Structure 1
Amino acid sequence: MKKILFYMSALALFLSLTSCSKEEIDMYSQEARINFDYRTIYSELRDSDYVKMKTDPYRRDSVRVRIMGDLLTANRDFCIKKTENNSYSNTLDIQLDDKYTYSALDTVCQYVYFKVKRPAYKTGRKTYGCNLEFDLTNPNHQFEKGFVEDNSVEVNYVWDITEPKTWSDWYWLGVGDFSPIKYCYMMDVWGRTLDSFITPDGYAYDDDEANAAILQLDAAYKAYKAEHGPILDENGNDIFPDEEE
């Protein structure tokens, strides 16, 4: 009886291994398909992004794609399109190539690149987003559809204007307490970040340059305020209140 049970167990194990082997062969001997390798592309926009909004509005970003099935033996094209994501009230302007080429034939992953327009700054950590999807109906797309859940990737951008490490340096004591709106106005006037005033050695400022920047800021805000009224910070206060006499 024990021998019979032993042979039955051995037979069951053999059939199981044979089945697994067949499934693996089927999985890896199928036509190559393409997926996104992750679900979300997340980026935080900093002060260095803010100062580039007018001069260099698009920033470069990337996404990794993954091949499933047989490895490719020749380059193959694929297409990506932007679609809206209803989870976001603010969308993104994205520039994609007409088509991309998978050329990393010795591996199953490759990065591809696209451009995202830096959105207008809004107070608070406002999020902007959309989806990227493989454009399966595009005649230039040469892959069959992969996993349904990996056919799209979410693109999520958020502004995060934080206090620069140099804000409390004595050169800038006259600008008062930090607020994102105040700092954005300063960058609008100067066309540069606060940290960019540090000299190449990383430890000092050019006195004349820093003094000229303060005078420029003071003159610009007085002229703006006289014509348009004060700019209010996140708490409803004038970013540069008049000094009490």
Structure 2
Amino acid sequence: MDSMLRSRTATRLPLDRPARSLTRRGRALSVALALGALLASGATLTLAAPAVAAAGDVKCPSTDCALIAPAAGSPVAIAPDNAGAVYLAYSGGDLLKLALATGALTTVTTGLGNLRGVAVADGNAYITAFDGTLQQVTLATGSRRTLAAGLPSLFGVARVGTTTYVTDGNGEIVAVPDGGTPRVVATGLGFSYGLAFDKAGLAYTADMMTGRILQTNVSTGTTRVLASRPDVAMSR
């Protein structure tokens, strides 16, 4: 897979880390998030016919989904490592690893803050928090370091080369180069929980308030609307 597509994010959910009893909405949404992350990563999912049963009323279209549904709970964000695992971030500050082959769920680290987004690249997780902090977690050891702090609330995150890009609560994309100073590279994007890049280096966000899907050139800051669905925009 192209290096520009190595990190993916997913949408925020209201619940925290896995519990034995999950709400119907929480179970269904966590399955949708996990499948979305897998598909975005380029993973091949084998569809089952008929659908594979999972937890409660969730009907899964694949064996991967059936493993994720009962295990994942309701993370705020999910990112695949393209090596057989997905990493789950929870609003209570936990980062967990889910092995797709077995469904085993293990803790990478805890106490990361009020998390909102996660991306995985080169053996590290890049994690955004509501308090405006961007952290890097080494997946093998769970050790962490702060890449940026004091920013507006952060949500989506993607890693491209030696730069981490994040979306914030002000409708901006912020670039955080390794060892450098964070800088705003695009504005006026609305409210997006997710951020992804294509192989040409163009960024993609979804404005939940207006139903727009946007493409942004982070080198120039120019943005264009690729699609608009105001009928599905979030209520203010």
Q: Same fold (TM over 0.5)?
A: no
Work out which structure has the larger RCO, using CA pairs closer than 8 Å and 6 or more positions apart in sequence: 1
Q: Which structure carries more strand by proportion?
A: 2
Structure whose CA Rg is larger = 1
Q: TM-score scaled by structure 2? A: 0.24
Higher helix content, 1 or 2: 1
